[in-house]
Amino acid sequence: MTIYEASKQYNIPIEILKEYESWGLCSAVKKVMGNWQYDNTDLEKLSLIMTLHDIGFDKNEIETYMKLLEQKDTDLERMNILNKKRNDALDEIHFHEKQLERLDYLRHKIRNKED
């Protein structure tokens, strides 16, 4: 499957596919007549990259995570990365909960003034 076919079939932007290639993570990818050919292993990795992107990883974090994945015995390191990202997400949720409480308080004051 070419880069364009993979992009279209799996709705992955070409830029992400090109970045994936530039990281040197596509060891199983064969170059045929100037076009990369993706196999199922590459598509699984790309799916993981999209998942990491969707949960808030930036490009550098994705590259780090994916390079760790290629190495042996990096489960602990990858778990630490995921735990940090999870804790950051929880901190953001708590921040937004406090914002909502303040907004609700202000709305409550306005409602009580109208009565």
Per-domain boundaries in the chain: 1-71, 74-115
Highest mean pLDDT: which range of 2-11, 59-68, 101-110: 101-110
Q: For the whole model, what pTM was predicted?
A: 0.72
Q: What pLDDT is recorded for position 34?
A: 64
- Give CATH for domain 1-71: 1.10.1660.10
Residue 25: predicted pLDDT? 64
Q: What is the mean pLDDT of residues 12-20?
A: 81
pLDDT tens, residue by residue, 70-115: 899 999 999 999 999 999 999 999 999 999 999 999 999 999 987 6
* Spatial contact of 81 and 65, defined as CB atoms under 8 Å apart: yes
If you average pLDDT over every residue of the chain, what do you get? 87
> Out of 7-16, 30-39, 60-69, which region has the weakest mean confidence (pLDDT)?
30-39
Q: Is the pLDDT of residue 35 over 80?
A: no
CA 53, 54, 55, 56 dihedral sign is positive
Question: In angstroms, what CA-CA distances link 80 with 12, 33, 48, 76?
Answer: 27, 41, 17, 6
